[in-house]
Every structure is written in C-alpha cells, then in structure tokens.
Amino acid sequence: MTANSTTALQPAPGAPPASSDFLTDVIAGLSSEPRTLLCKYFYDERGAALFQKICELPEYYITRTEIDILDRHRAEIAAHLGPQINLIGLGTGSGTKTRILIDALEKPAVYIPVDISEKQLRKSTARFHKIFPDLEILPVCADYLQPVALPSPSRKATRNVVYFPGSTIGNFGPDEATEFLRRIANVCRHDGALLIGVDLRKDRDVIEAAYNDTAGITAQFNLNLLARANRELGADFDLQHWLHRAIYNSDVGRVEMYLISQIDQAVHIGDYTFGFRSDEKIVTELSYKYAPEGFAGLARKAGFEFQKIWTDDARLFGVFYFTST
C-alpha cells in the first residue's frame, strides 16, 4: 500500500454484503433452519470482557498457545515478514499478540488494526501510541466481514502483510474461508504476505474442554448473546431456560456451539414471536479445526503460497506464513 492508495476488503463476487444491523440479523437467524445467531455479535462490551476471562482459563489452550508460539519464534517470524511493512491486523482485539509481533519487526512503517469493538480498539490504539510512538497507527472500527475501505498511510511500506490471529478463520466454512482468503490476497497484493493463527485438529476431549470450561465462563459468554438481544432489541429471552453446550463434530472437524431451550417457550422481539420446543437448538458458533496440510491447500486455492508453520510442541495450534502470488 502506498500513501496515495485506498484498499478495501470486498465481499466475494456476487455475494451480498453482510448486514451490520443486529436486529435484522437476529430476525433472519431465528427465522432460518437451523436457527442461528451470528458469532460476530458476541463482542459487545460485556462479551469482550468475558472473552478476556475465557483466554485466561486453564482449559482454553488457544490464546496462550498462540502467544507462546509468537513469543518463542518472534525473531524468525519478523525476519520472514521483513522490514518497513504495512501491518494490517484483522480482529486483533486488545493487541497482546500484535504487540509481540511489532516489537520484533524491523522498523514497521504502518499498523492498521481493524476491529468491530470500538471501545477495545480505542484502548489498544492509545496503548500502542505510547509503546510505539514512532509507528503510524491508523485504526479502523468496522466489521471486516463487510466491505472496509482501509486508510491511506503517509509512509510508504515495502509490502502489505495481513495479520489474522486467534483462529477466527475457523468460524468460516471451508468454502467461505477460501473466498475470504481471496479477499485478503487482494489486500496483500503481489509480494504481500499473510500471517494467520489456525487451531489444529487434536483429541476431542482437549477441544471440548476448551469450549465447556468448568468455571462456566464460556456459558456466560454464549448466553450473553441472548442478554444483548434483551438489552438492545427489547427481546424477552429468559436466560434461566437456556443452556450452553459445545460439541466437537469429528466427521467435519468442527466445534458446534449451541444455546438449547430447556422448555417449550415463546420469545418476542418487536413484532416477531419465535416459538421454541424443549431441546431445540440455536447455533451460535461453528469453529473448524484443520490439519496443517489441509489448511495450506485451502489457502493455495485462494492465491497464497505456503512458506512456513510454527507450532507448539503438542501441535495444538499453528501460526502459518503465506505469501501472495
């Protein structure tokens, strides 16, 4: 990206842009079969705070493992990414991982964090301005699943590098993931790069424990979707009659997270009434896990060339480095 350019994360050709309207998405999701609530709505202020607690849980290996990989391999990762890059962070949250990365980079030119949580983005940007006073930081508060126009930096960078941590790519189905990676490849341009965190396939018990913690924080996080609908949309979900559950479907390699109705009940949202049978599910998250060669093949279809993977000793998680072709 140069100082005179604007780049956008555009939707796949022919696909409608994702709606940013919470009410519209909730009505559409609860009217669908199976019933769904989009996981991007987890992250209101309370949801973001609960997720930070999840990241500290002993069962939730994902965040600490990714941080450990970045910390142990920071010099090698930085060498691959190169000097004076334009680093575009998608959904980087509080910025803990990104700080490790930027600390190791040689004279990064620009950092553009894109995040849906405005409060978290403001806090992390202010912190980064203090830690990296010479770095140009251009925050963008947006849902990166929608078309997002990225700002034009004043400094010229050697290449565009997109950083997508946290295994968020797992929330896409394989076909959707390929299309999203194609859009990222357009942002990277020729000779750009992608650094992406991916949760790897492993023992069912390890995966299911991470999404069903004994402290019940993930249950609170999941139920907060209903509480948010009550707060913001005037819905009347009775949280006492809903149960959190997550299972690992090994046939397709994904975690399926649900909210399950405990009784026959009706929920009202504006002029809409939704009837739920006892044991009926609302799908709130699908999280795909990948074998390294499987994810490398998926990224290749999107226009990336696999270069390197860094993992922990137990191969729970992988940080992949791709170059754009």
- Res 11 pLDDT > 50: no
Answer yes or no: are the C-beta atoms of 245 and 212 closer than 8 Å: yes
By mean pLDDT, which of 42-51, 141-150, 221-230, 285-294 is the weakest? 141-150
Answer yes or no: are the C-beta atoms of 59 and 214 closer than 8 Å: yes
pLDDT reported for residue 120: 85
- Res 12 pLDDT > 70: no
Cis upstream peptide for 34 (omega within 30°): yes
pLDDT reported for residue 93: 82
**DSSP 8-state assignment for residue 91:** S
pLDDT in tens, 112-166: 999 888 888 999 999 999 999 999 999 999 888 877 888 989 999 999 999 999 9
| Angle at the Cα of 124 from the Cα atoms of 123 and 129, rounded to 5 degrees | 100
pLDDT in tens, 198-207: 999 999 999 9
pLDDT in tens, 78-122: 999 999 999 999 988 888 999 999 999 999 999 999 988 888 899
Confidence of residue 320 (pLDDT cuts 50, 70, 90): very high
Rounded-to-10 torsion of CA 39, 45, 46, 47: 20
Q: How far apart are CA 56 and CA 54, in angstroms?
A: 5
pLDDT reported for residue 117: 81
Answer yes or no: are the C-beta atoms of 197 and 164 closer than 8 Å: yes
pLDDT in tens, 186-234: 999 889 999 999 999 999 999 999 999 999 999 999 999 999 999 999 9
Sketch out the chain's domains with CATH numbers: 22-57+205-288 (no CATH), 60-202+289-324 (3.40.50.150)
pTM of the model: 0.88
Please give the average per-residue pLDDT across 159-180, as a whole number.
95
Buried b or exposed e, range 265-304, using 16+ CB within 10 angstroms: bebebeeeebebeeebbbbbbbbbbbebebbbebbeebbb
Buried b or exposed e, range 26-61, using 16+ CB within 10 angstroms: bbebbeeeebbbbbbbbbbeebbebbeebbebebbb
Lookup: tokens for 45: 């202020």
Lookup: tokens for 247: 């299972």
pLDDT reported for residue 116: 83
Q: Where does the chain show beta strands of DSSP type E?
A: 7-9, 86-90, 110-115, 136-137, 140-141, 148-150, 160-164, 193-199, 242-249, 254-261, 265-269, 272-276, 281-288, 304-311, 317-324
- Res 19 pLDDT > 60: no
Lookup: tokens for 85: 């890059």
- Res 13 pLDDT > 60: no
Q: How far apart are CA 241 and CA 194, in angstroms?
A: 43
Lookup: tokens for 114: 């894109």
- Res 2 pLDDT > 80: no
Answer yes or no: are the C-beta atoms of 47 and 221 closer than 8 Å: yes
Q: How far apart are CA 303 and CA 325, in angstroms?
A: 6
